[in-house]
Amino acid sequence: NWTGDMEIALGGVYSNETWAQAAAGAFDERWQSALRAVYNKWYSKRTVYLRFAYQFNAGWTVWSINSSSVAAFKTAWSRFYYLVQ
């Protein structure tokens, strides 16, 4: 029954995955499916804020980035952005 704005953390990689795989498109289908579900459930009802790989720079998350994964993360973020469009 929530009628306010919605904030959803979406995207990222699991513990057995890498940002390089994400940059190559390995998770596009999963991300697109999740985005479709968000759109179908929430879009017409409220404002939805998507947070891609929420707290990716925290260091304690499975999907954290480091100096060796920055380029792959940027490419993965770009892929996710275009899926949202």
d(CA 16, CA 74): 19
DSSP state of 66: -
Q: pLDDT digit string (tens) for 45-65?
A: 788 899 999 988 888 888 899
Q: What is the pLDDT of residues 5-43, one digit of tens each?
A: 889 998 889 989 999 999 999 999 999 999 999 888 877
How much is the pTM? 0.85
Q: Answer yes or no: are the C-beta atoms of 77 and 52 closer than 8 Å.
A: yes
Closest CA to 56 of 29, 82, 22: 22
